[in-house]
């Protein structure tokens, strides 16, 4: 059972604002090699091994009147071929494979598509953007691939040994995608009619160029593949075809829509386990990426950063050659997003790593911070209040600008010196809005009513900014301070 697998892996589950940062698994059995797990009347799940730290991938089979529709092909290696052979001769053998759909071009999803096409005789479909990226990577001569990789790593400022490694490493894509199928284009809005439902195809950007996922609205079923995962954040990284593209903005667009997903929808991801509460998971990922952005903002205020320096800020550990590609790309994507938002600028010089410099002119005005929050709202992201409470010099003008904003009811309050600013904002909320908060205090979770006494016992009477103008200071009773204070420690990174 999934529960046994989770216990063995010792996962952490953390709750905040009634949402699970790591989503609990639904009650399905993880399929063993050569077996399928039935997820719905016409939907089946297989799990294939991967030779990476992320050591598995979930593949899905939809039962249609024409035969099986296979979602993704797995890695292009002998182990994957052997696993497919067992399925095709076993639980899939009673009807033909009608269609193979590849969600996106990453090697663990695309790699075995050519072999699977040859063995089944089925047509292979993918989105136009993913086909274009796949064919570009596959047809790129190895020497050109290594030059592009080395140039990207030089722009990132990675160590010389890492640059030398990619110069000598050849094409990782060609190693793990040994052949390509004859592609057919599938477009968003098309529908797969299964035996018991209808799967609407959508396309999104961020994790990859034109990633497909599949929604059965009538039954509340969503094959999200790699865009919505229950435990880890999907890799949102710079791509070697354009290391300056703002992929994080694209992913925020997706997460904004998914944050409204009904809690009862069953989500079937490309890795880990099926889960519900996809909207809460989407919001947790929005918060996660804004926290990473704030880490970089704070570091950039101290000094300019290369991509390598940003990677140290975000992750603080060394990576092997395989992981370095993803970690450096993720750090780069977050820096590029700050540039796109006008919060940093990139300085590029010949033969030197790209250098990112903060544009924060804090001290003279809060106008820059107001623009930052306006940008957040235009992205559709509920505002993480961490940025507000990290400003000792926040003015009433800034507080006013936030009054009508959407906000994430999770307050990141690491320092009691920030309590005046926190209270000034929270004091503007209605009683109903305050009730949305769950309070994490001294490592324990409380609802709003129970937390008052716990916080009051530990919190002295504090001076706070009143809401009637800049610079005015009053003293709230201890009870009032307690009722509006929220403490959270959330800074997670995977």
Mean pLDDT, each 10-residue run in order, the chain (494 residues)? 28 32 88 96 98 94 98 98 98 98 98 98 98 97 96 97 95 95 97 98 96 98 97 95 96 95 97 95 92 92 95 91 95 97 92 92 40 48 42 42 42 38 48 52 44 44 29 26 30 29
Which residue in this structure is represented by tokens 């703002």? 246
Q: Please report the pLDDT score of residue 188 as a whole number.
A: 96
Spell out the residues 6+ positions from residue 212 whose beta carbon is closer than 8 angstroms to its own: 101, 102, 103, 104, 126, 127, 130, 186, 188, 201, 202, 203, 225
Q: Please report the pLDDT score of residue 432 as a whole number.
A: 63
> Within a 13 Å sphere around the CA of 368, how many CA atoms are in the beta-carbon half?
17
Other Cβ atoms closer than 10 A to 288: 19
- Cα separation, 280 vs 418, in Å, equals 28
Domains with residue ranges and CATH for the chain: 2-141+171-284 (3.60.15.10), 288-358 (1.10.10), 367-484 (no CATH)
Q: Please report the pLDDT score of residue 316 as a whole number.
A: 86
Report pTM: 0.74
Helix (H) or strand (E) holding 465: strand 463-465
Q: Please report the pLDDT score of residue 350 as a whole number.
A: 84
Query: Are 268 and 274 within 8 A, CB to CB?
Result: yes
Other Cβ atoms closer than 10 A to 27: 9
466-491 pLDDT tens trace: 222 222 222 222 223 333 333 322 22
Spell out the residues 6+ positions from residue 395 whose beta carbon is closer than 8 angstroms to its own: 366, 470
C-alpha torsion angle, residues 474, 479, 483, 484 (rounded to 10): 10
């Amino acid at each position: 059972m999934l529960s046994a697998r989770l216990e063995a892996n010792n996962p952490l589950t953390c709750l905040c604002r009634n949402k699970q940062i790591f989503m609990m698994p639904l009650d399905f059995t993880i399929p063993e090699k050569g077996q399928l797990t039935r997820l719905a009347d016409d939907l089946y799940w297989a799990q294939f091994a991967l030779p990476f730290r992320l050591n598995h991938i979930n593949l899905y089979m939809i039962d249609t009147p024409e035969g099986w529709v296979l979602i993704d092909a797995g890695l292009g290696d002998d182990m994957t071929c052997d696993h497919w052979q067992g399925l095709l001769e076993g639980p899939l053998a009673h009807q033909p494979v009608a269609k193979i759909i590849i969600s996106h071009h990453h090697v663990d999803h695309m790699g075995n598509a050519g072999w699977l096409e040859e063995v089944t005789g089925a047509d292979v479909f993918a989105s136009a953007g993913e086909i274009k990226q796949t064919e570009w990577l596959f047809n790129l001569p190895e020497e050109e691939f290594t030059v592009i990789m080395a140039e990207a790593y030089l722009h990132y400022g990675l160590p010389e040994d890492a640059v030398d490694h990619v110069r000598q490493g050849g094409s990782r894509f060609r190693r793990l995608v040994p052949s390509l199928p004859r592609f057919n284009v599938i477009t968003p809005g098309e529908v797969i009619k299964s035996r018991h439902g209808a799967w609407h195809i959508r396309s999104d950007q961020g994790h990859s160029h034109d990633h497909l996922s599949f929604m059965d609205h009538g039954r509340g079923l969503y094959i999200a593949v790699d865009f919505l995962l229950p435990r880890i954040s999907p890799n949102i990284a710079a791509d070697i075809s354009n290391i300056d593209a703002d992929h994080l903005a694209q992913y925020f667009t997706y997460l904004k829509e998914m944050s409204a997903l009904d809690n009862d929808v069953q989500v079937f991801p490309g890795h880990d386990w099926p889960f519900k509460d996809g909207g809460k998971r989407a919001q947790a990922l929005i918060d996660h990426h804004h926290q990473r952005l704030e880490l970089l903002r704070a570091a950039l205020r101290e000094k300019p950063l290369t991509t390598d320096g940003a990677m140290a800020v975000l992750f603080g550990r060394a990576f092997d050659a395989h992981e370095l590609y993803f970690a450096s790309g993720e750090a780069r994507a977050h820096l590029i997003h700050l540039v796109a938002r006008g919060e940093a600028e990139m300085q590029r010089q010949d033969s030197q790593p790209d250098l990112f410099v903060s544009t924060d002119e804090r001290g003279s005005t809060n106008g820059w911070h107001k623009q930052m929050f306006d940008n957040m709202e235009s992205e559709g992201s509920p505002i993480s209040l961490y940025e507000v409470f990290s400003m000792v010099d926040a003015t009433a003008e800034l507080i006013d600008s936030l009054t009508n904003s959407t906000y994430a009811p999770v307050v990141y309050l690491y320092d009691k010196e920030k309590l005046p600013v926190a209270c000034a904002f929270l004091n503007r909320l209605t009683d109903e809005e305050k009730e949305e908060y769950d309070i994490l205090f001294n490592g324990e979770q409380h609802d709003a009513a129970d937390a008052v006494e716990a916080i009051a016992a530990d919190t002295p009477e504090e001076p706070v900014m009143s809401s009637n103008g800049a610079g005015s200071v009053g003293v709230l009773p201890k009870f009032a301070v307690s009722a509006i204070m929220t403490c959270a420690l959330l800074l997670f990174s995977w």
